[in-house]
């Protein structure tokens, strides 16, 4: 089995520079491990550069293929607090269930009925058909397999949104500044979201740039804004878990650890809505302060990155 390691421009330059200076391989591997690289991956990476140099071949570019098993995801202490009740800034939230692999929790009444209604009302006039990034061209395209419409709020766009941003950040145990703006999604009958990962797969320029700006996505909190009459469950095929949408309830899961490994067991999707409609709001957390693309491009969101990451499970698992 082989894995692909994606290097940043800076990391590739660092390895090439150290190699040119004759730095000992063990010191380079140690430096990578001290920055939370998996030891086997760090060893394989440095080895790939040394063998290219020794064989008179060009040094690897930003994608390095290593013939090895993918290292196992190391489960660390969950970011979300332990216990039966989570104390958010303005309310106490009861935990209904927890899962260890992937790390996941279902939560009761994260949002009140009034807050759910208000979010739907604010989002409705701003909905646009959801898109994915077309890998070959990098263009935003609509596809049948992603049959929903959505919109993004800016972080702390107004006092109501700011209060929700803050509450969700406390639940997720991350600074509010690391959170992407809330995304509201709406599915009609037949609407679904096939299995995917929420972490960023740096195979598109938009995702790579997004990781460079704000770091990897580390966790997700979905809050269901209405009850669905039939269908619309959120499915975790690896865990055999199906979460039924209930207005105000939350679904938290995490998939990136401090070593920047990503958990392939976090694959999930939205089952087709059979009867009724489905509204959700999603908060994604980054490993660093979130810097939207709009800060450099004048738009309102980081939507390109956020859809690009929804790499299909088959594609992403091949790495
Ligand atoms: O609508 C859902 O249940 C769902 C499923 C998977 C939403 C998302 N992912 C998402 O917003 O990332
Ligand atoms: Zn998702």
Short-list 43, 46, 40, CA closest to 16: 46
> Which residue bears the tokens 């800034």?
89
Three-class SS of 65-82: EECCCCCCCCCCCCCCCC
3-state secondary structure of 114: helix
Residue 308 CA to residue 135 CA, distance in Å, equals 8
Q: Whose CA is nearest to atom 7 of ligand 1?
A: 270
Mean pLDDT of 305-319: 32
Rg, Å, the chain Cα set: 21
Predicted confidence band of residue 7 (pLDDT cuts 50, 70, 90): confident
Predicted confidence band of residue 309 (pLDDT cuts 50, 70, 90): very low
Q: How far is the CA of 156 from the centre of ligand 1 (A)?
A: 22
Predicted confidence band of residue 5 (pLDDT cuts 50, 70, 90): confident
Residue 280 near ligand 1, beta carbon < 6 Å: yes
The two three-digit tokens of residue 169, written as one number = 């950040």
Tell me, what DSSP letter sits at residue 15? H
49, 112, 128, 207, 239 from 115: Cα distances, Å: 54, 5, 21, 32, 31
Ligand 1: nearest atom to the Cα of 148: 1
Bond preceding residue 102 cis, omega within 30 of 0 = yes
pLDDT in tens, 93-113: 999 999 999 999 999 999 999
Mean pLDDT score of the chain: 87
Ligand 1: nearest atom to the Cα of 243: 3
Q: Which residues touch 121 (CB under 8 Å, ≥6 apart)?
A: none
The answer to pTM > 0.85 is no
81, 256, 258, 265 from 77: Cα distances, Å: 9, 12, 10, 16
**E strand map for 67-148:** 85-87, 92-99, 103-107, 128-129, 132-133, 140-141
CA dihedral 109, 196, 166, 187 (to 10 degrees): -60
Q: How far is the CA of 253 from the centre of ligand 2 (A)?
A: 10
Mean pLDDT of 197-224: 90
Residue 150 near ligand 1, beta carbon < 6 Å: no
Looking at the predicted structure, is the pLDDT value of residue 304 above 50? Answer: no
For residue 132, what pLDDT is reported?
Answer: 66
Residue 102 CA to residue 201 CA, distance in Å, equals 18
For residue 317, what pLDDT is reported?
Answer: 26
In this structure, of 142-156, 226-240, 249-263, the range with the lowest mean pLDDT score is 142-156
Top mean pLDDT of 54-68, 128-142, 147-161 is at: 147-161
Mean pLDDT of 251-264: 94
Mean pLDDT of 157-169: 98
> Among 149, 186, 222, which residue has the most ligand 1 atoms within 8 Å of its CB, making it the best to mutate?
222
Short-list 207, 209, 220, 212, CA closest to 180: 220
Residue 204 near ligand 1, beta carbon < 6 Å: no
For residue 41, what pLDDT is reported?
Answer: 85
For residue 314, what pLDDT is reported?
Answer: 28
pLDDT in tens, 111-153: 999 999 999 999 999 999 887 666 666 566 666 666 789 999 9
Question: What whole-number percentage of the chain has pLDDT above 70?
Answer: 86
């Amino acid at each position: 089995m082989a894995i692909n390691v994606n290097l940043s421009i800076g990391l590739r330059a660092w390895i090439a520079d150290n190699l040119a200076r004759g730095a000992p391989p063990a010191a380079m591997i140690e430096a990578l491990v001290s920055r939370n690289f998996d030891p086997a991956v760090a060893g394989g990476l440095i080895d790939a550069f040394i063998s290219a140099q020794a064989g008179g071949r060009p040094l690897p570019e930003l994608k390095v293929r290593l013939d090895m098993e993918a290292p196992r995801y190391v489960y660390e202490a969950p970011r979300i607090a332990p216990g039966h009740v989570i104390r958010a800034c303005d309310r106490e939230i009861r935990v209904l269930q927890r899962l260890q692999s992937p790390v996941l929790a279902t939560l009761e009444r994260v949002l009140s009925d009034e807050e759910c209604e208000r979010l739907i009302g604010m989002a409705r006039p701003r909905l646009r058909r959801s898109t994915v990034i077309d890998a070959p061209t990098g263009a935003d395209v609509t596809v049948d397999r992603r049959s929903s419409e959505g919109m993004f709020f800016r972080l702390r766009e107004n006092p109501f949104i700011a209060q929700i941003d803050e509450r969700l950040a406390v639940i997720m145990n991350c600074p509010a500044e690391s959170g992407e703006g809330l995304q509201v999604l709406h599915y009609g009958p037949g609407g679904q979201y096939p299995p995917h990962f929420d972490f960023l797969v740096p195979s598109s320029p938009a995702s790579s740039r997004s990781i460079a700006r704000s770091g990897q996505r580390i966790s997700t909190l979905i809050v269901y804004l209405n009850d669905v009459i039939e269908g619309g469950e959120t499915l975790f095929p690896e865990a055999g878990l199906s979460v039924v949408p209930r207005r105000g309830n939350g679904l938290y899961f995490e998939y990136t650890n401090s070593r920047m490994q990503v958990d392939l067991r976090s694959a999930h999707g939205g089952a087709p809505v059979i009867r009724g409609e489905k509204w959700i709001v999603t908060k994604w957390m980054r490993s660093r302060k979130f810097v939207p693309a709009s800060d450099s491009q004048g738009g309102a969101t980081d939507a390109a990155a956020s859809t690009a990451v929804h790499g299909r499970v088959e594609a992403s698992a091949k790495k």
